[in-house]
C-alpha cells in the first residue's frame, strides 16, 4: 500500500461560533431544559443545518412565521439571532405568546442606531443584502420608506436622497469589510455630511474571520469555508479567499459536500468556519482529508476573541441572578 501524500493544513483563527451565535443556541437549549419541548423558533436560529437539526432532535420546532404556531400554546417562542421586524414581537404580544429574543446584541445595536437617526429626522441608508433576515429585521424597525437599501457600489453612486445634507447610514453586521468600505467611501465622497455609526457596524467576529482568511488564502493551494450557502458571513469568507488569490475556495456544510476532484493536486489547504458553523464539522472535514493525506497542521491567528453576551433574562441560570 503506497504512502499517503503529505498535506499541510492551515487552520484560520478565529473561526466558527461567535458570541452572538453561542447566545442564540444557548437560549434555545436553556428554554428546552427549563420549559420542556416544544420550543418554537422563528426562522433558523442561526444559518447552519447541523445546528438546526441538532436542536430539532431536542424538541425545537422551526417556523418561518408566527402564524404557524398553534393558538393558545404556552410553549416559548424564540426569535433568531438575525433579529426581527418590530411587527413580530407586537404580533407575539397580541397572541399572548411567551417570547424570548435571541437577537445578537450587535444587531440590536444597529437597530438602535437606525431608530436614533430616524428620531433626528435623517434619511437612512442601510448597506446590506436584500431578503437576508437581518436586513429584513432592520428595515422593519422603522416605518416603510424610512430606510433605503444600498446593496452595491453602483447603488451608492446613483442613489438620489431627498436632502443630501441630512443623511445617515447603518450596515448589516456580516458584510465584506472591503466591499462595505468601498460603498461607505463613495457615500462620504458624494455626501460629506452623512452620519455614520460611532463604532463600525460590521461585527468583530465577521471582521476577525475575514482578517484570518486574508492571512491564509495567499499561502495555500485551496481553502474550505465551513458554512451554509445562506450564511452571509460564510459566503463573504469564500469571496475574501478568492479576492486574496486563492485558486480553489469553496463552501462546505459537511465533509460529504467536498468535491474531491478539486483537491487532487494540492500540497496545502486552509480551513476556516463561518460564525454559525460548529467546530465539530471542521474536525469532520479534517478527518476526511486524513483518510487521503498525511496531515501536518498549523494555526494562523488574526485576533484573540473573548466576547460574551448574557442570555435573555428568562433563561439565565438562577445562580447568575443572585
State how far the Cα of 198 lies from the Cα of 187, in Å rounded to an integer.
16
Q: Which residue shows C-alpha cell 438546526?
A: 52
Binding residues for [4Fe-4S] cluster: 18, 104, 203
- Answering whether pTM is above 0.85, one says yes
125-173 tens-digit pLDDT: 999 999 999 999 999 999 999 999 999 999 999 999 999 999 999 999 9
Is 130 a domain residue? yes
- Return the CATH number at 99: 3.40.50.11270
At residue 3, the pLDDT reads 84
- Reduced to 3 states (helix: H, G, I; strand: E, B; else coil), residue 34 is helix
At residue 1, the pLDDT reads 55
Q: Which residue shows C-alpha cell 458584510?
A: 175
Binding residues for isopentenyl diphosphate: 47, 82, 132, 231-233, 276
Catalytic residue among 134, 154, 304, 318: 134
Are residues 279 and 217 part of one domain?
yes
At residue 199, the pLDDT reads 80
Question: Per-residue pLDDT for the chain (322 aa), expressed as one digit of tens each?
Answer: 568 999 999 999 999 999 999 999 999 999 999 999 999 999 999 999 999 999 999 999 999 999 999 999 999 999 999 999 999 999 999 999 999 999 999 999 999 999 999 999 999 999 999 999 999 999 999 999 999 999 999 999 999 999 999 999 999 999 999 999 999 999 999 999 999 997 888 899 999 999 999 999 999 999 999 999 999 999 999 999 999 999 999 999 999 999 999 998 899 999 999 999 999 999 999 999 999 999 999 999 999 999 999 999 999 986 444 4
Residue span of the structural domain in which 54 resides: 19-104
Distance of CA 298 to the CA centre of its chain: 26
State how far the Cα of 278 lies from the Cα of 37, in Å rounded to an integer.
23
Q: Cβ(244)–Cβ(213) under 8 Å? A: yes
Q: Cβ(190)–Cβ(11) under 8 Å? A: no
Is 322 a domain residue? no
Question: Ramachandran region of residue 294, left (φ > 0), alpha (ψ -120 to 50) or beta?
Answer: beta
- Return the CATH number at 147: 3.40.1010.20
In the annotation, is 134 catalytic? yes
Number of domains in the chain: 3
Are residues 294 and 225 part of one domain?
yes
Distance of CA 19 to the CA centre of its chain: 11
Is 313 a domain residue? no
The DSSP line for 213-261 is: HHHHGGGSSEEEEES-TT-HHHHHHHHHHHHTT-SEEEEESSGGG--GG
Is 149 a domain residue? yes
Binding residues: 18, 47, 82, 104, 132, 173, 203, 231-233, 276
Amino acid at each position: 500500500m503506497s504512502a499517503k501524500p503529505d498535506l499541510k493544513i492551515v487552520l484560520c483563527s478565529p473561526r466558527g461560533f461567535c458570541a452572538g451565535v453561542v447566545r442564540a443556541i444557548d437560549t434555545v437549549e436553556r428554554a428546552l431544559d427549563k420549559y420542556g419541548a416544544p420550543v418554537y423558533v422563528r426562522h433558523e436560529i442561526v444559518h447552519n443545518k447541523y445546528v438546526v437539526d441538532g436542536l430539532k432532535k431536542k424538541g425545537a420546532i422551526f417556523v418561518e412565521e408566527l402564524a404557524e404556531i398553534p393558538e393558545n400554546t404556552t410553549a416559548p417562542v424564540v426569535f433568531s439571532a438575525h433579529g426581527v421586524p418590530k411587527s413580530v414581537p407586537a404580533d407575539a404580544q397580541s397572541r399572548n405568546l411567551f417570547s424570548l429574543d435571541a437577537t445578537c446584541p450587535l444587531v440590536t445595536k444597529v437597530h438602535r442606531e437606525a431608530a436614533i437617526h430616524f428620531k433626528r429626522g435623517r434619511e437612512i441608508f442601510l448597506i446590506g443584502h436584500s431578503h437576508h433576515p437581518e436586513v429584513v429585521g432592520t428595515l422593519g424597525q422603522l416605518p416603510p420608506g424610512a430606510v433605503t437599501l444600498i446593496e452595491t457600489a453602483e447603488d451608492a453612486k446613483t442613489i438620489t436622497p431627498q436632502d443630501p445634507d441630512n443623511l445617515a447610514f447603518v450596515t448589516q453586521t456580516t458584510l465584506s469589510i472591503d466591499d462595505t468600505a468601498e460603498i461607505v467611501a463613495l457615500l462620504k465622497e458624494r455626501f460629506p455630511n452623512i452620519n455614520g455609526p460611532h463604532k463600525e457596524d460590521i461585527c468583530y467576529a465577521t471582521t476577525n474571520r475575514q482578517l484570518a482568511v486574508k492571512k491564509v488564502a495567499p499561502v495555500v493551494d485551496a481553502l474550505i469555508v465551513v458554512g451554509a450557502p445562506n450564511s452571509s458571513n460564510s459566503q463573504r469568507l469564500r469571496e475574501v479567499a478568492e479576492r486574496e488569490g486563492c485558486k480553489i475556495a469553496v463552501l462546505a456544510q459537511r465533509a460529504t459536500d467536498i468535491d474531491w476532484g478539486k483537491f487532487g493536486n494540492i500540497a496545502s489547504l486552509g480551513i476556516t468556519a463561518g460564525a454559525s458553523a460548529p467546530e465539530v464539522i471542521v474536525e469532520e472535514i479534517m478527518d476526511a482529508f486524513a483518510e487521503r493525506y498525511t496531515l501536518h497542521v498549523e494555526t494562523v491567528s488574526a485576533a484573540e476573541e473573548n466576547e460574551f453576551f448574557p442570555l435573555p433574562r428568562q433563561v439565565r441560570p438562577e445562580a447568575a441572578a443572585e
